[in-house]
Amino acid sequence: MQHSNCSTTSCELLLCALRFLRDFPPAKSVTSTVCENLPQVPSEQQTLSVGPPLLQKEEYHTHLAVLYLEEVLQQRAAAGGQGSEPSETQTKLRRLLQKSDLYRVHFLIERIQGAGLPMESAILHGKLGEHGKALHILVHELGDFSAAEDYCLWSSEGQDAPCRRHLFHMLLAMYLHAGPAAHELTVAAVDLLNRHATEFDATQVLQLLPGSWSVQLLCPFLTGAMRDSIHARRTTQVAVGLARSENLIYTYNKMKLKGSAIWLSDQKLCQLCQNPFGEPVFVRYPNGGLVHTHCATNRHTTPSSPSPGTRT
């Protein structure tokens, strides 16, 4: 037990020291001294390079996860499997599995199989994109509905809104497909909808809900969905109104430019080729410059051509 604690602490100290050296790089001689005194982490490489690339190596994240896992298993064996509250080490293990994307997921899944760690197993399945398996473990094996909701939130961090919505719809479908006999899952479905109304597509949800459910039961969900729908509609109306105003201003400026008379004579020269106009067809720019139509076309196809202004 003591050896496992020392190994875990050493690995944590190494990662903290490396992050410090990355953010506050000391002189070269000091760096060498610090690196020599750092606790060593077993790895396939014999030499370590200090810097950001080192922090991105999966072997250190995997090794730290294994150290946490071994210590958790030893603690559970010493306690005889009693105690439902996670220990400090188990909390660190779960946080590492959630936040890091550098460890070897399949390797850790094999180590966890049969160890009686369903929460950790659910997190690892989620890392593989197997959200159905992860939610099944949390809902049907653990019966931890709060953890299932938290899973939908942290698993969709940094993702777009459709990804989070997909996870919540998957969880709701899992609750509803259990049937009316599963009273706990029915209550969980109602609570899920009422707490996270904005995460759902109200149209799809209403098609899934049993006809026996009352409006009063889903009042918070319906209120939130209606408020979100009205907000989205009004935001769209504002955006459309602004676009129309901008287009109206552009149209006005264009008509104003076209409405002014332009006198074309033999003395007028093209600003690009400096030749007179042989035909009454030309391109006028906002700065008043006149150019041949073919000169304007060539200027757009040849970037090195001189530019008299923005074309209208």
Q: What is the pLDDT of residue 41?
A: 42
| CA nearest to 47, candidates 35, 60, 55, 56 | 35
For the chain, domains (ranges, CATH) are 1-118 (no CATH), 129-257 (no CATH), 261-312 (3.30.50)
Over residues 218-229, the mean pLDDT reads 88
The answer to whether 209 and 173 have CB atoms below 8 angstroms apart is: no
The answer to whether 180 and 144 have CB atoms below 8 angstroms apart is: no
Q: What is the pLDDT of residue 300?
A: 62
| Cα–Cα distance, 47 to 136 (Å, whole number) | 43
Q: What is the pLDDT of residue 43?
A: 37
Range in 46-55, 71-80, 156-165, 225-234 the model is least confident about: 46-55
197 secondary structure, DSSP code: G
| Cα–Cα distance, 249 to 213 (Å, whole number) | 52
Q: What is the pLDDT of residue 38?
A: 39
Q: What is the pLDDT of residue 31?
A: 37
The answer to whether 124 and 97 have CB atoms below 8 angstroms apart is: yes
| Cα–Cα distance, 231 to 236 (Å, whole number) | 9
Provide the CA 131 distance to its chain's centre, in angstroms.
16
Kindly report, residue by residue over 96-106, the tens digit of the pLDDT: 999 888 889 99
Kindly report, residue by residue over 237-286, the tens digit of the pLDDT: 999 999 999 999 999 888 877 777 777 777 888 988 898 888 888 888 87
Confidence of residue 142 (pLDDT cuts 50, 70, 90): very high
- Six-digit token string for 96: 């590492």
> Does residue 10 carry a pLDDT above 80?
no
Kindly report, residue by residue over 15-60, the tens digit of the pLDDT: 554 454 444 444 443 333 433 443 444 333 332 333 455 456 788 8
Q: Is the dihedral of CA 193, 194, 199, 202 positive or negative?
A: positive
| Cα–Cα distance, 136 to 142 (Å, whole number) | 9
> DSSP for 92-126?
HHHHHHHH-S-S-HHHHHHHHTTSS-HHHHHHHHH
Residue percentage of the chain with pLDDT more than 70: 75
Mean of the per-residue pLDDT values for the chain? 79
As beta bridge partners, residue 284 has 290
Over residues 225-243, the mean pLDDT reads 92
Q: What is the pLDDT of residue 56?
A: 61
> Does residue 303 carry a pLDDT above 90?
no
As beta bridge partners, residue 276 has 269
Q: What is the pLDDT of residue 158?
A: 85
| Cα–Cα distance, 270 to 296 (Å, whole number) | 10
